Copies of this chain bind each other. A is one copy, B any other.
């Protein structure tokens, strides 16, 4: 392969780093790729770092020492984050989203890959310094924002199931009381999916009273894992007393008026 120019090296470096957020690449990796000296690659990294920060495209971080290297963090600036949530909020207010039972249809937004990638980056920006080992969620809809958060943080995703599937081996199950429907439900997780004494971030799509998320916290306690952050895309204003404290909710759904056909939702952060 012909040797790359400095300008080309920087572009490749930025691309490879940002394709694998939070993955630590050694300097040697790029020295081999570019057939260049460490000092050259170091200079390239400095230039890439400056550029990415100048354009508010995240942060490139160098980690010193034997385990060191360089990594990219997709930090969303507060301004960009609010702009994005503001646009999304307008879409969510569309009265055609109202579904019988005062629910709102969100799948088209939540399952849009550009949109859920951004939601994941927003959660990742919030929880990036928590030293988490896993991102945990429960099937089904929570998987989407949770996977995108896991991708942005480069952490394994763990999915609790609402039943006991045979293909996961031995599981730990708990019963929990769904906060809004007051029904006893079960959630299960394969024993081998989380190491004891881990730190986890809990992500879900929707929270009413918080019963399911409380269940996930309880399930984590069974794994001797510590919940270091909890994020939900939408939480409802009522009931005001939630079963968990300290959660980060991107939107607060205040009211769905099925008669007037209006949705009252606002940014929660």
Q: Chain A residues in contact with chain B, CB under 8 A? A: 1-2, 4, 6-8, 10-16, 18-20, 23, 48, 51-52, 54-55, 57, 99-101, 103, 105, 107-108, 111-114, 116-117, 139-140, 143-144, 147, 150-151, 154-159, 161, 166-169, 190, 192-193
Contacts and interface: CB of A to CB of B under 8 A. Distances in A.
A19 B18 contact: yes
A154 B12 contact: no
A96 to B, nearest CB: 9
Copies of this chain, complex-wide, total 2
Nearest to A33: B55
B15 A107 contact: no
A151 B117 contact: yes
Contacts of A10: 7-8, 11
Contacts of A143: 140, 143-144, 147
A147 B140 CA distance: 13
A2 B2 CA distance: 32
Which residue, A11, A105, A140, A167, has most C-beta atoms of chain B within 10 A? A11
Contacts of A16: 57
Given A113-B150, A167-B101, A108 B156 contact: yes
B11 A113 contact: no
A266 B189 CA distance: 28
Contact of A100 (B13, B157, B169): B169
A126 B222 CA distance: 42
22 contacts: A4-B51, A6-B7, A7-B11, A11-B51, A16-B57, A18-B18, A23-B114, A100-B166, A100-B169, A101-B167, A103-B166, A105-B167, A108-B193, A111-B150, A113-B151, A113-B156, A113-B157, A116-B147, A117-B151, A143-B143, A144-B147, A144-B157
Nearest to A105: B169
Contacts of A1: 54
Contacts of A18: 15, 18-19
Interface centre among A8, A101, A159 (most CB of B within 10 A): A8
B114 A154 contact: yes
A116 B45 CA distance: 27
B7 A111 contact: no
A69 to B, nearest CB: 15
Nearest to A153: B113
